[in-house]
Every structure is written in structure tokens, then in C-alpha cells.
Chains A and B, each alone.
Chain A
Amino acid sequence: MRSGNAVEARAVERVFHSRKRDIHALGPVDLDVRDGEFVCVVGPSGCGKSTLLRMIAGLVTPSAGELRVRVKDGRPDAAMVFQDYSIFPWKTVLANIRLGLDLAKVERREADRLARSWAAKTGLSDFLDAYPASLSGGMRQRVAIARALAPNPQILLMDEPFAALDAQLRQVLQDELLEVWQADGRRTVVLVTHSLEEAALLGDRILVMSNRPGRLLADQEVPFERPRRPELRATPEFVAFREQLWHLLRDEVRSA
């Protein structure tokens, strides 16, 4: 693996075998994600974006090609934030955030301290002892993000993390993620999203995928300086860039 890359995909494909027929879900895909880079992936539904993330997380293996991911202790040094609330209803907010540390057998006091500090950064300090059932959707996704970050993975994988939230809340969480990530020393992130605005605000680079089987149609650098502020959204450059992205994607969405 070339140093400086957190993820390298070479002609990676994935085929799912279902009872009736084989589904060619993804690829071939070639992709390098540099350390510390924030990459956003956009593409039509069903084009294999989640499959790509799950492969990077080590939850699914490629059917062809090779995928190299930075490891720690023999498994991908990556944590995943899922779209649907995959936080555990039977654990309090604190216990959810602490889970990755507990599983790694981090000493209890240290694990508590780290979990509390992530809870504070994601605005959850007042809810440490609450169970997820009593939280709003936005709060739950904050828990999911804090839980993924607490074990300090080198790579953060996010699969449409805000898709289930209403538009205002989505914007609030995007702003928070931007702030947390920029303050956090630039962890590697791969974020799948349907929102071009989200991709343009957060990403260093945007990958546009084709219809299934998903291949990379475009690899677009985002021209905005870091650190960015949420106000960027309202600038004419931002609006123009978002339009440009939409042109790239439009034909694929139409023929989907």
C-alpha cells in the first residue's frame, strides 16, 4: 500500500447472488482516498454506494479486484455511521458511545472519559443517561457519530447519515459535522450522500457514480478553502459549483 493512502481500490467489483439472479452491484471501481481527505460519494439509488462503504469497513468482501484499507489490530481502522438508527436501544447514550472502547477492552475510567468528551463535542452531555427511545432523530444520529469517533478510527465511513432527518435539522447536523471534523485534526472520511449541497459543503473531493453497476463517472475537486464556514452555502461560487455537479449527475439520475 502506498503510504499516504487510507483506501486503495483496484478494479473492485461486487456481485450479490440472490436466489433468482445475480446482481452486479458495483464496479469495476478504481479509487484512492488519501489520508485526512474528506471524500463524498454521490450517485443514483441502488448503484452500490453502501456496498462500497461496507467493503471498506470489512463487512462485505469484493467479488473481484483488490481493496486495500489501513488496518489496526488486524481489522480495518474504520468506523461506520449508518443511515438507519443503528444505535442500540438497550444502551444509554453514554454506553452506546463507549461501546467501541469497551469492545477494545479500554480501561473503564479512560473509556468513560473519552466517551464523555465525544458526547460533549456532539452536544450530548445532557443526555448521557437517556435511552435512545427518548431521543429525537437528530440526537440519535449525533450518538451514532460520537460512537463511531470515540475509538479514534483513522477512517470514518458515513452512509447517508442525515438522509432521514428533516431539512432544517439536516443543515444543523452538517454544520456540526463540519465543525467537529475541522477541529478534530482531519480524519479520513468517506461520506455517501444524496445531497449535492452536503457534498459540496463538506467534501474535499466528490465522486459521482453511474447507475448500477456503479462505476466512477467523475472525480471532482471541491474548490473551497479550509476551514470552511456554514455561510459558504449562500455564496454565488457555492451555488454555481452545486449547479455544475448537478449537470454531471443529471443524466444518470434521468436514466435510472
Chain B
Amino acid sequence: MTTTSQESGNEQSTEGHLSFRPGPGDRQPAAYARRRRSFEVAIAFVAPISFFALWQIASTSGWLDERFFPAPTTVWSTAVELVRTGELQESLAISTRRALIGLAFGVVSGCAMGILLGLSPLWRAALEPFLSACYTVPKLALLPLLLLIFGIGEAPKIVLIAITVFFFVWIATMEAVMSMPESYREAGRSLGAGPWQAMRHIVIPAILPQIFVSIRLSAGVSILVIVGAEFVQGGDGIGYLIWHSWSLLRAEAMYVGIVAVALLGFVLGEVVKWVGRLLMPWAPRDAGRAVM
């Protein structure tokens, strides 16, 4: 045997026997884990740094057409400029507001529908087939219809996000309610919980972890949807900034917009995680990460 693994120590073959001894990870587990962790953090930076370095070189040396692929340094100075004029913050604020309002409506209606259908076989029989069929309709394709119904203000975009989010949250909530152990509800009833008390003390906390997973997914989706909607309709928001910059051949501003959207999605996801940890102190940290 010639294999040596850092985790499990050395294995040496002596006359037909294998001997196992502690490796560095076994002798000083804490220090080893710490070193290992710093190493993992360090290599996580390697990929993005090499990516941007290569891009910079390719762009400045002329391998890439600078009109479409401006160097990261150019993009950075454009970003500084857009922040100075306030254009970037304003666009981000407008889009964030739309996304959050739509998200809120979608989450509340999705939870309500999920709990109703999860608890009541009758309502499930009545509505689930119809809603499942609606789930697969591409929601962005509804935008013209929503514009017709709601006019051209904020409403159609917010409704579009709410509809999209509704389905994510509805499905997750309904499944969570249905997979809730029967003994939870029986324990509540045997302690004298009425329907509303059972909702507050048992059903909602029991399904909260799954609801939060679906909200995290929905937060990302609502950003995608709002950017898509602003591409095709209206004259403001971060989606408009991206699309408009592109059509004006201001590629550097487009890249600023794209990066800003990515950051916005990341921040929103972290906020949802943080709120989830506040509301669910009993859950292990980062519950739901595995599901994502």
C-alpha cells in the first residue's frame, strides 16, 4: 500500500498486515480543520480572480473586441461613474422595490393557498389540478396580458412577480403541510388546541423551514423576473439600464448592470437567510442549504 491520505493517516504494509496510524488531521483536529478551512476560502478566490485577470489581458491586448468585452478596469470606472451620477442606485432601488413588493404578495398568497390545500383534501381536490396546470405557464408570457389589464404603471410588473413567486411558495407550503407528522397535530389537539391555536403553535412553525427555502428560491426568481420585465417594458429599473446600455452600445454600463443584479440577488438571498435564522432559532444553522 502506498496510499497516504491526509485525513486518515498512514497505512503501511508489513508482512501481510496493514497498520493504521493517526494522520495530522487526527492528531490535531482543531488546527488541521482551521488550516483546511483557510485553504478552502483561499482557493474559492482563485477561480474569479483568474477569470477577471484573463479577461483583462484578453481585452487590453485586443484578443477580444473592446466594444463588446470592455476590460474589467473599464467596467469598474464606469460603475464608479454611474454611482456618482446616482443612476445605478436609482435603478437598483426601483427594481428592488418592485421585487420586494411582488415577493411579499406572492409569499403571503402562496402560504395561504398552501396551508389551505395542505390541510383540506376537499380544497385540494377542487384546486390542485388547475393550479398545477397553471404552474407550467411561462409567466413572462403573461406580461402583455397584465399590461392590458393593469395599465402601464408599477402594477403589472409587481403582479407578474407575485404570480411567479406564488407557485413556488404554494407548492413548497402544501407539501410541507402534507408531510407534517400526524402526531404533531394529535399532540396539539390532545392539549386542547383549537384550529387557530393549532395554526399558530403547530402548523406554521412546523412548515416554516420549508417556507423559507421556497422564499430563498423565490427571492432569486423575483430578481430574474423583474429584470426580464424591465427589458421589454418601461423606462426605468436595472433591467432597463442593462438593455438600454446595450442598445446604445455602452457595453461597459451593461456589465455594471449585470454585476449589480448578481449582487442584488446575493444580498437578497442572504437577507432571507438571516431573517429565517431570527425566526427559527431552533433550526440548525443553514438549514435548507443542502436543499438549495
Instruction: Report the minimal beta-carbon distance from B106 to chain A, rounded to whole angstroms.
Output: 24
In the complex, whether B187 has a CB less than 8 A from a CB of chain A is yes
In the complex, whether B186 has a CB less than 8 A from a CB of chain A is yes
B contact residues, total (Cβ < 8 Å): 21
Q: Which residue from chain A places its CB closest to the CB of B190 in the assembled complex?
A: A80
Pick out which of these stretches binds chain B: A7-15, A32-40, A86-94, A160-168: A86-94
In the complex, whether B46 has a CB less than 8 A from a CB of chain A is no
Q: Which residue from chain B places its CB closest to the CB of A80 in the assembled complex?
A: B190
Instruction: Report the minimal beta-carbon distance from B288 to chain A, rounded to whole angstroms.
Output: 15
B190 touches A90 (CB 8 A): no
Q: Inside 8 A of B181's CB, which chain A residues have their CB?
A: 84, 86
A100 touches B192 (CB 8 A): yes
B191 touches A79 (CB 8 A): yes
In the complex, whether A147 has a CB less than 8 A from a CB of chain B is yes
Q: Which residue from chain B places its CB closest to the CB of A78 in the assembled complex?
A: B190
B282 touches A89 (CB 8 A): yes
B190 touches A103 (CB 8 A): no
In the complex, whether A240 has a CB less than 8 A from a CB of chain B is no
In the complex, whether A120 has a CB less than 8 A from a CB of chain B is no
A-B contact count (CB 8 A): 63
A contact residues, total (Cβ < 8 Å): 29
Task: Mark interface residues in A120-161 (1 if CB within 8 Å of B CB, else 0).
Answer: 000000000001110000000000000110010000010000
In the complex, whether B129 has a CB less than 8 A from a CB of chain A is no
Q: Inside 8 A of A20's CB, which chain B residues have their CB?
A: none
Instruction: Report the minimal beta-carbon distance from B179 to chain A, rounded to whole angstroms.
Output: 15
Q: Which residue from chain A places its CB closest to the CB of B204 in the assembled complex?
A: A90
Q: Which residue from chain B places its CB closest to the CB of A54 in the assembled complex?
A: B186
Q: Known A90-B282, A133-B282, A151-B192; judge A103-B201 contact (CB<8 A).
A: yes
B197 touches A88 (CB 8 A): no
B186 touches A59 (CB 8 A): yes
In the complex, whether B281 has a CB less than 8 A from a CB of chain A is yes
A interface residues, Cβ below 8 angstroms from B: 54, 57-59, 73, 75, 78-80, 82, 84, 86-91, 99-100, 102-104, 131-133, 147-148, 151, 157
11 A-B pairs within 8 Å (CB atoms) are namely: A57-B190, A79-B191, A82-B183, A82-B186, A86-B183, A88-B184, A99-B201, A103-B191, A133-B282, A148-B191, A151-B191
